Each structure stands twice: as C-alpha cells, then as structure tokens.
Amino acid sequence: MLEDEVKEQIQAAYRQLLASRDLKPRHGQRLMIAEIARCLSGYVEGEPGPVCVVEAGTGTGKTMAYLLAVIPLAQRMQLKVVVATATVALQEQVMLKDIPEVLQGSDLDFSVALAKGRGRYLCLAQLDNRLAPSDSLQAMMDLYGDDLQDAESEHHGLYQEMLEALSQGQWQGDRDEWKSPLSDAQWMPLTVDNSQCLGSRCSHFRQCCFFRARDSLDKADVIVSNHDLVLSDLALGGGVILPEPESCFYIFDEAHHLPVKSNNHFSNFARIGATRGWLDRVQDACRRLVEADFMAGDELVSLEELKEQCDAGLDELGMLLQQVVDAEPQIDSYGNRAQLSFSMGQVPEAIQLAAGKLLNHFQQLSALLGSLTDDLKEEMDTSVELERREQAEHWFPLLGSMGKRATAALGLWTSYAFADVAGKAPTARWLSFNQDDSVADIGLSASPVLAADNLQERLWERCAGAVLTSATLSALGSFDVLALRAGLPERTRYLSIPSPFDFANAATLVVPRMNCEPSDNERHTALIVKALPTLLQDPIAALMLFSSRRQMLDVMQSLPDELHDKVLCQDDYQKAQLLKYHRQRVDEGKGSLIFGLASFAEGVDLPGKYCTHVLIAKIPFAVPNDPIETTLSDWVEQQGKNAFITLSVPDAAFRLVQASGRLLRSETDSGRITLFDERVVSKHYGKQILESLPPYRREIFTEEIS
C-alpha cells in the first residue's frame, strides 16, 4: 500500500514541476503516476517484484510521470532506480534534459549516474601497449594480422593526446566525451570486453576508467542505462555491471524492443570455415606461449590433438550441412546471403550427433583455455619478475578473448546437440551462407523465439519491481502478444492511456481505391509512382514508409526527375544526417521527401512543418521468411492456434500504429496519412487493424488511382 507520506511527496513534486515550467496538469500523466506508484508500492523484500505495463500515447509526458512515481518510492524503500532506454537518443534526453528538469523544478533530491559498457571506456593497459608496444605484444598481434607499427604511426599522435588529457584530469576515458568523434578504427584498439579485463590484477586498476565509472553506480540513486547493458548484466548473472536486480526498480522505456533485444543477447552464431581459421590461431598462440614458457609442452601436444579432433568434427558437420543445402529445391535469399531454416528448429539426427561430438571437443578446449588464463593470473599474482608479470598481462586479453569465443561456440553446439524441452517454445535454428562460389562458409545460428524463459528467470522473478512503458505496447486493443513474447508474469498490471491529441481534427487517414493488392508487386508499385506527383503538393515535407527495399528503390527510380530530386533515401545517408538534411531543405523552402523502411517507422521526430504527410506503401506485415518468426509461427500452429491471427495481424497493427504516429508529434501538428493498401478495408483482418488505429478522420476510397 502506498504510504501517505510518499504519496504527498509525489504530489508535491508534480505540482512544483508543473509550476516551474508553466505547464498544466495532464489527466493521462496523473493517471500514469498514480498507477505506477500504486503498483510498485506492493514490493515485498524477498519476493518477486511487481510488474507494471503502461502504454502512454504520444503527448502523455511519460518520462516525467515514471520519474516522479518511482524515485520517491525507491528512496523510501532504499532501492535503486535503473532507467533503461532502447536508443542512445532517448538515453541522452533522459540524462541531459528530463532528470535535470525534475531536479531543478522540484524538491526531490537524488543522485544520478550514467551507465555504459566497457566498450565505451578506454583501457589504460591497451593505451599503454599502443604507445609503447613490447615484443611479446607484437608477437600476439601478429596472430591476428594486426601490425602495431602501422597502428602506432597512424594514431600515435591521437593516443598521446589522450594520455595527456587523462593525466591532466581533462578527460575520464569516456569515448562519448572525447572532444571530437572517434572512428572504430581509432577506438577499438583501446578497449577490452569482460573476458579480456584483468580487473584488480591489472597494474592500472586504481586508475581504471571503467571501474571508476562503475563505482559511481554504487553511490547513485538513479542509474540511466539502456536495454542492451541491462541484458548484458543479466546474462552475466546480474550485479556484475549494474547493481543486483533484487535491489532495483527497473524502468524500461520503449519497452516494445525488450523481447527482440533479449533474444539477440541469448542467441548463438558461428561459421564453420571461420571457426577452423580461429582454431589455427589458437594453436599458433599456444605455440608462442610454450616459447614464452607460459605453457607446458605436453599441454601443447594435447591442444594440437584436440584441434585435429575439432577440425575433423567441423569437416563432418560442414559436409552434412552442405548435403542439406544441396537437397533443398528452393532457398531463401537476402542479397548475397542465403539461408535455410530447420522446421520447428528440429535438426536431422546426423547433425545432432555431429554437434554433440563438437560439444565434447569444445568443452575440453574451453577447459584448457580456462586453465591457461588461470595460470596467467597466478603469474601476475606470484611472479617476482616484473617483466614476467607484464608479459602475463599482455597475453591475458588474447587468451581471455579466445576463451570467450570457445564458450560462445559451446552454446551453439549445445543448442544443436540437444532437442528442445517438450511443451516449451522451440529454439529457432538455421544455416546461412554466401552465394558467392568463392566463399563456401556455412554459418549456423540458434535463437530463442520467445524471450519469456530468459526474462522470467533472470529479471521478473528477481527484480524488486519493473515498469514497462512506450507509446505503443498493445495490439488490437490487447497486451497478449507482449505478454507472450516477454514472458510477463501473471501478477503484471496493465494500463493503456490514450494520447491527448485531437486525432479527428488534426489528421486525415486516406485509403485511395487502387483496385490492386500489394501482392501484385509490379502494378502496385506503378500505381504508387503515378499517385505521388499528385498527392505531394509543394511545399513537400513528407515521409514515405516501405516494407520492401526492392519496392522503395523501384519507386524512387521511376519517379519524374522533379520529384526524384526531392527524395532523401535511407540507403544513402546515416539516419541522423538524413533527418538534418530534410529539416534544412524544408527550412529553405525546397521541399523534401524521405524514403525509409521499418527503422523510420519509429524514433523519427519531425514536428510541425517538417512532416505534414506520412505515406505508407502497405500494411507492414513482418518479413515472412524470418527464421525466428517462422519457427514461432509453426509452434503456435502446433498449439492449435492460427499464427496469422495470433501473431501476424497484431504485429502488423502494432507497426501500422507506429508508422502513422510519425505524423502528429505535438498537439499543434496536423496533416495527412495515406495508406496504399485496400486490404485494410476489404479483408476482415484489415478492418480489425483499421479499428486499432487512433480515431483519425477517414477518407476511404474518396480518391482513385488507376
């Protein structure tokens, strides 16, 4: 139950914040604050925390709402707040705009820290190595074709400048805070991952940029992070990068991304040929370890025998996979890549047995590499020779990286060696390869089709509480798909808050009569090309969204020159740069039309004059041959349900709501949405999708394209 003192603190902070910014209270915002606070107040130490899902339409002011609701409650319960966003842009907005406004505009007093992964921080040991490479380090880098002399001559001045900035306290080793953008080629040689980090054994540990930043998290009341970092921490067991889940209230903004990001974190991939090449480098590294007296000769013999077994196992598996490819009459193609999914994730018994052999070999390899890294740690702890300790430090990141890759391969072989647990959603398994005959390297992939098990075990059953929020979380008026994909517990509470926008007066949804379905690709494309010059009147400030890159390019190439010159295509620019060019063109009165795919259907904020017309080529159904979605659909069908109605239609409705939502970004915006897809009227499922959209003013078949 929400204590009166906390309730009054939240209400007072809300009044103060509104007054400080001369804002009026919003009904939806107040409702969201109350629901989150009421839900999380049910926290009981030692029990699975409450989970609250809030769909808050554009204009609700959800960031202010969840900050005001959660922070006072967390402070009262002596818990931390982890705000996790899906994008860097939103993370920066929360950290640099929203939280400062709350601190300045209310009596709330809390400390804040920004959480980033190791990859965003410079490793002092790596910087030292780059500025003064040793013979042993050069020998190791040679294994990977990395010429330190070239790297030193190319970036030496930059690295020296970084060292000076660090020593003078002008920089804390954060990539994002360096005075100018850094390319991956400049930055990657200066970083390590968790498998390469020496931790307290590192001679630079006391000054370590990452661990200094990590220490600040322990002192902060609120930690601003992102979905990927939270999932990375959970994959490591929780409490490794971020505080323990049991001590945290999590807020997942843009929460519709969470299930997909979770699947990505717990997926596995390896190429047969590339793995063989990697094994060659492992063998070369171990030979040099013997030369440097960090590995015994009999261990090398064991390693070489084990490598032969791994090579033979990879050859056998590669041959079996090639037989599968050769026997398949038709294979899905994506550009220069082809892929083939195993139905319901079930692989042939011969492949299963071959993967089992590799599993056994890689378990031994992983154990051997683990033993070698333990020996290096012992050398760093006990050796009386400074040079010996330094050599061990140099070798450790390479061996740690090899051990991490061996462990990742273990996950893949395990997935292919064992069948899925009966009654549970299967694992998607598929192979892919280059269609270029010069590269015959088959890749194997495995991924959960649902995030449910991983999130249930690692998050929902451990955290003190969680809030999931976004402008769009439901589909067809239901949260069922989100609950299925994210494995939300039965105790979850749901709330949908409509946007305060006056949709009926601000926007018109137009569905022109085309007498053509999108399945007739050639005619559908031709009709769109014919319609655009008429529909887009100067000054043009429009966004056109496609479900197919092929159709996007075909439409662009067929446009008359005058309109073609106004198109900014997502394939030609980085997203931020494209949006910048678009705004400049509109400001100059030249007109601009953005052509984009699914990534432009969300996270694109073009208020007012910058977007007055959103055009959508067709109902955005998911790619039909995605191996994860295909496997999930097959499983749903096996459960006696219709996968199209259960998954595809709600997902398409969700995507269409997001796409159409690019038009109205503030209460003063207005414009038009054109959907070139008659199925939204002619099909029963289309009518469901149409009814799930905001209540735009509709013009159905009032225009005809022929």
The pLDDT, as a whole number, for residue 197 is 87
**Which residues are within 8 A (CB) of 324 and not within 5 positions of it... i.e. 6 or more apart?**
340, 348, 351, 431
Note whether 314 and 334 are same-domain residues.
yes
Boundaries of domain holding 358: 267-448
Q: pLDDT tens digits for 567-605?
A: 999 999 989 899 999 999 999 999 999 999 999 999 899
**Does 220 score more than 60 pLDDT?**
yes
**Does 4 score more than 90 pLDDT?**
no
**Does 117 score more than 70 pLDDT?**
yes
Ranked by mean pLDDT, which of 126-130, 157-161, 610-614 comes out on top?
610-614
The pLDDT, as a whole number, for residue 134 is 58
Any idea what DSSP says for residue 57?
-
pLDDT above 70: percentage of residues in the chain: 95
Q: Report residue 531's pLDDT band, with 50, 70 and 90 as the boundaries.
A: very high
Q: Report residue 706's pLDDT band, with 50, 70 and 90 as the boundaries.
A: confident
Across the chain, how many H-helices and E-strands are there?
28, 19
CA angle, residues 148, 154, 158, in degrees to nearest 5? 105
Which of 105-114, 228-237, 364-373, 617-626 shows the lowest mean pLDDT across its residues?
617-626
CATH of the domain at 639: 3.40.50.300
Note whether 280 and 395 are same-domain residues.
yes
Buried b (16+ CB within 10 A) or exposed e, 394-424: bbbbbbbbbbbbbbebbbbbbbbbeeeeeee
Residue 471 and residue 498: Cα distance in Å, rounded? 9
Start-to-end CA distance of the chain, whole Å, equals 62
Domain finish residue from 448, 463, 478: 448
Mean pLDDT of 549-562: 95
Provide the sign of the torsion angle of the four alpha carbons 699, 702, 705, 706, taken in this order: positive
Mean pLDDT score across all residues of the chain: 91
Domain finish residue from 497, 532, 563: 497
Residue 188 and residue 155: Cα distance in Å, rounded? 12
Note whether 54 and 184 are same-domain residues.
no
Note whether 519 and 612 are same-domain residues.
yes
Residue 275 and residue 80: Cα distance in Å, rounded? 42
Q: pLDDT tens digits for 291-334?
A: 989 999 999 999 999 999 999 999 999 999 999 988 887 777 65
Residue 499, both tokens: 């946007």
Residue type, 388: R
The pLDDT, as a whole number, for residue 155 is 85
Mean pLDDT of 478-505: 96
Note whether 356 and 468 are same-domain residues.
no
The pLDDT, as a whole number, for residue 138 is 56
**Which residues are within 8 A (CB) of 631 and not within 5 positions of it... i.e. 6 or more apart?**
341, 344, 345, 426, 427, 428, 429, 449
Q: Report residue 147's pLDDT band, with 50, 70 and 90 as the boundaries.
A: very low
Note whether 400 and 472 are same-domain residues.
no
Note whether 532 and 616 are same-domain residues.
yes
Domain tally, the chain: 4
Residue type, 380: M
Contact 146, 138 (CB under 8 A): no
Note whether 481 and 405 are same-domain residues.
no
Nearest to 106 by CA among 231, 240, 8, 13: 13
Residue 232 and residue 236: Cα distance in Å, rounded? 6
Note whether 307 and 411 are same-domain residues.
yes
The pLDDT, as a whole number, for residue 570 is 93
Residue 471 and residue 476: Cα distance in Å, rounded? 14
The pLDDT, as a whole number, for residue 116 is 87
Provide the sign of the torsion angle of the four alpha carbons 328, 333, 338, 339, taken in this order: negative
Q: Report residue 699's pLDDT band, with 50, 70 and 90 as the boundaries.
A: very high
Residue 593, both tokens: 């039309």
Q: pLDDT tens digits for 429-467?
A: 999 887 664 446 899 999 999 999 999 999 999 999 999
Any idea what DSSP says for residue 174?
B
The pLDDT, as a whole number, for residue 112 is 96
The pLDDT, as a whole number, for residue 149 is 45
Mean pLDDT of 520-528: 96
The pLDDT, as a whole number, for residue 225 is 95
pLDDT above 90: percentage of residues in the chain: 74
Residue 418, both tokens: 């064992």
The upper half-sphere exposure of residue 595, i.e. CA atoms within 13 Å in the direction of its Cβ, equals 23
**Which residues are within 8 A (CB) of 449 and not within 5 positions of it... i.e. 6 or more apart?**
263, 345, 425, 426, 427, 428, 628, 629, 631, 632, 635
The pLDDT, as a whole number, for residue 383 is 83
Report which of residues 553 and 390 the model is more confident about. 553
Note the helical H segments in 559-683. 561-564, 575-587, 627-638, 643, 649-660, 679-682
Contact 672, 702 (CB under 8 A): no
**Does 146 score more than 50 pLDDT?**
no
Note whether 18 and 106 are same-domain residues.
yes
DSSP string, 218-283: HH-SEEEEEHHHHHHHHHTTSSSSS--GGGEEEEEETGGGHHHHHHHHT-EEEEHHHHHHHHHHHH
The pLDDT, as a whole number, for residue 296 is 92
Buried b (16+ CB within 10 A) or exposed e, 147-162: ebeebeeebeebbeeb
Buried b (16+ CB within 10 A) or exposed e, 630-665: bbbbbbbeeeeeebeebbbbbbbbbbbbbbbbbbbb
Note whether 209 and 295 are same-domain residues.
no
Nearest to 671 by CA among 599, 584, 620, 613: 613
The pLDDT, as a whole number, for residue 151 is 47
Residue 176 and residue 17: Cα distance in Å, rounded? 30
Contact 569, 577 (CB under 8 A): no
Q: pLDDT tens digits for 29-86?
A: 999 999 999 999 999 999 999 999 999 999 899 999 999 999 999 999 999 999 999 9
**Does 148 score more than 90 pLDDT?**
no
Note whether 9 and 104 are same-domain residues.
yes
Domain finish residue from 191, 213, 235: 213
